[in-house]
Amino acid sequence: MKRSHFLKSLGGLSLAPLMPWAAHAQSRASVQTNCVLIPAETPGPFPLDLTSNEFYFRQDIREDRVGVRLRQKVRIIGLENCAPMPNVRVNVWHCDRDGSYSGYNSEEGLTYCRGYQITDQNGECEFITIVPGWYPGRVTHVHFQVHVSSQYSAVSQWTWPHEAVVQAVVDHADLYPEGPDPLSPDQDGVFADGYQLQMASLEWDATNEEYVSEFEATVQGEGTVGVGYEEMRTASVMAVGQPYPNPAAWEAKLPIELMVPAELSWSLWSASGAQVAGQSLGSVGPGSHTLLVGLNDLEVAAGSYVIQVEAMTVNGRFTMTRHLSSVK
């Protein structure tokens, strides 16, 4: 981004009187789901806390790991009304093709095959990774954690049909020296009590030369008004509405309600985890405000983004995020 354009764009970012949120709310069509609570599972022996490190906010979590490309789609549903849950944080982590996890033992300090995304208004997010390998005693699987609020998060795992995983490895044998997983989910201690709700799809996309997988999880809470990660904790400080219009071409407005005085700032992040823009707005008093984000002035390319609003108060730092799509 050219510095001249960035400085110019700051003039287009302002706090203005807030218009009613309801007038700009986007309706969401009902979605057919199984709407059965996902079984809770252990986070496993290799979890890492990603919550304090924005580096892990990224769509592509492969880094330098070798393996066949996997486009993993995740949808989160709220149990109370069986509707998509937007603005929740989905953490995922899994082993590489050799069965190793980053951050542990000889892999300490490494960060591959870990990341998080924020669900959009359809309760969906997407990761780019590899088809994982396996290690003794476990089938090929992925760990995930859904942060609904500071008081509740769902932790579970998903796997794929055994025949599909075996075929994926056989068809790309040069990438998987350990060969296919010898176990089926029925032989896995974690999934031995049932895995019907933890089975993702897996299909080969010959056009893009990648596997595509879809997985849906139902968690406690109400969809369409799902409370994003840390929103419960920050409710006494601020509330952030949905950006509108969304998708946006030229500019987007973000409603912000401050309950206490705060030093306010915002940042815009791409799906790859790169910060695209940001600004400190200084000291802002309590009340209703609107953040105007000039996408055209900022030369924001078409794509999926997350807006993070940060409020610094006498009680600490509070953040909230919202999903925004830019179109040209």
pTM over cut 0.75: no
Helices (H), 40-100: none
Nearest-angstrom CA–CA distance, 248 and 297 = 13
| pLDDT score of 54 | 66
Q: Domain spanning 54-219: which superfamily?
A: Aromatic compound dioxygenase (2.60.130.10)
> Residues 295, 299, 304, 308: is their CA dihedral positive or negative?
negative
Nearest-angstrom CA–CA distance, 113 and 129 = 7
Output the CATH code of domain 3-25+227-326: 2.60.40.2550
* DSSP designation for 281: E
Q: List C-alpha distances in Å: 136 to 7, 83, 133, 178, 244.
A: 56, 38, 11, 11, 49
Nearest-angstrom CA–CA distance, 243 and 19 = 12
Helices (H), the chain: 3-10, 162-171, 231-234
| pLDDT score of 88 | 87
Nearest-angstrom CA–CA distance, 306 and 212 = 23
Q: Which residues make up the CATH 2.60.130.10 domain(s) of the chain?
A: 54-219
- Beta partners for 82? none
Supply the DSSP string of 256-276, one letter for each residue: EEESS-EEEEEEEEETTS-EE
- Quickly count: other Cβ atoms within 10 Å of residue 52's Cβ: 6
Q: Which residues make up the CATH 2.60.40.2550 domain(s) of the chain?
A: 3-25+227-326
Q: Which residues contact 286 (CB under 8 A, 6 or more apart)?
A: 258, 259, 260, 261
Least Cα distance to 213 among 36, 75, 48, 13 occurs for: 75
Mean pLDDT per 10-residue section of the chain, whose length is 328 residues = 28 37 35 78 72 76 97 95 90 95 87 91 95 95 87 88 97 96 92 91 97 96 58 73 90 94 93 85 95 92 89 85 85
Nearest-angstrom CA–CA distance, 257 and 207 = 46
